[in-house]
Amino acid sequence: MTSLPLISVDPDARGRKPAMPPRHLADLDLPGRRALVTELGEPAFRAKQVSNHYFGRLVRDPERMTDLPAATRERLAGTLLPTLLTPVRELACDDGATRKALWRLHDGSLVESVLMGYPDRVTVCISSQAGCGMACPFCATGQAGLTRNLSTAEIVDQAVYLAGVAASGAVAGSPPRLSHVVFMGMGEPLANYARVVAAIRRLVAPAPEGLGLSQRHITVSTVGLVPAIRRLASEDLSVTLALSLHAPDDELRDELVPVNQRWKVSEVLEAAWDYAATTGRRVSIEYAMIKDVNDQPWRADLLGRLLAGKLAHVNLIPLNPTPGSRWDASPKPVEREFVRRLRDAGVSTTVRDTRGREIDGACGQLAAAEDTDSDSRAATA
């Protein structure tokens, strides 16, 4: 594992009461940015110039915005581009292809995001909340509880920052452009619905409105908030829905995914199939493989019956270790048998690459803790 340097931050930021950040240009559409600029007494076209720097050139330093008058650069950037994310720690593994960033927000809240480089793409996994209120017992984020929702700009800024990392050529062997975004970091995205949808629109709008990503390269994960899934289907977006199912039966899912006590497996899957029918997008079924908990052959058969003939793909996730967890990943022979039974049922199935496990950056490991073994490794490397 490679560790990047610790970055010093303002110690006075710690312990502040959770609060939303100042307004940022990514919170606004282009007309809203023009209105804000004119309130400052500047020509409306300055909004497009600053937006081009941020989204098009991935620049936020006023000194590099040389097409702006020197006398107004600081004021424009200070109003439109307030600092939202302060890097606390960055860790890397896989020869630098996987990078986890810990951010401190303006109120002292902590969030994490992960960049993953592949030969054909660069993907970032971003957070939509500081913490998570869904309380899934096998997930470090869920056990931490919810601090607050992130603003639209705090969500977008993670992707823009890491797009800059990719553009710098820091991810060897990968294209120098961010292409995929997955809302699989900290938080339940659909519990912060309005801001997440606004963030998606910024990510897919072409510069200077946004980052210019393909809608089909964006994935939104959910534990199954049925009304929000149905609302998302009406947004005229073609993003991929990833449903964190983790059990095919209500008895077990009530324990593993507590929101199942409100919306049962049948209701969640019905909403997912309606989403697929409306958008034409295949639903990704996320299933953490937990030893002797949800990996029995009969559960594979039940899952196969539920998904057979549906526009769905199963993504099996070997359970990643988290501090204090009483559960472990399924043995490989058990995992292979689970895959075989699903495929025999005609269900497309793959096993997720466990990238970032060494730096607690894999699925279910994000906890945004400062005093961890990872910190010790970073400080002593």
Paired tokens of 333: 């022979």
Paired tokens of 118: 């592949």
Residue 376 has pLDDT above 80, yes or no: no
Choice among 42, 90, 112, 286 that is catalytic: 112
At residue 138, the pLDDT reads: 87
Spatial distance between the Cα atoms of 24 and 50, rounded to a whole number of angstroms: 11
Over the stretch 25-47, which tens digit does the pLDDT of each residue have? 999 999 999 999 999 999 999 99
Q: Work out whether strand 348-351 and strand 146-149 pair parallel, antiparallel, or are unpaired.
A: unpaired
Closest CA to 153 of 114, 99, 100, 192: 192
Residue 368 has pLDDT above 80, yes or no: no
Residue 7 has pLDDT above 80, yes or no: no
Residue 139 has pLDDT above 90, yes or no: no
At residue 325, the pLDDT reads: 75
112 is catalytic: yes
363 is catalytic: yes
Over the stretch 250-309, which tens digit does the pLDDT of each residue have? 999 999 999 999 999 999 999 999 999 999 999 999 999 999 999 999 999 999 999 999
At residue 6, the pLDDT reads: 34
At residue 15, the pLDDT reads: 53
Choice among 132, 136, 139, 363 that is catalytic: 363
Q: Which residues contact 215 (CB under 8 A, 6 or more apart)?
A: 200, 204, 237, 238, 239
Paired tokens of 125: 């996994």
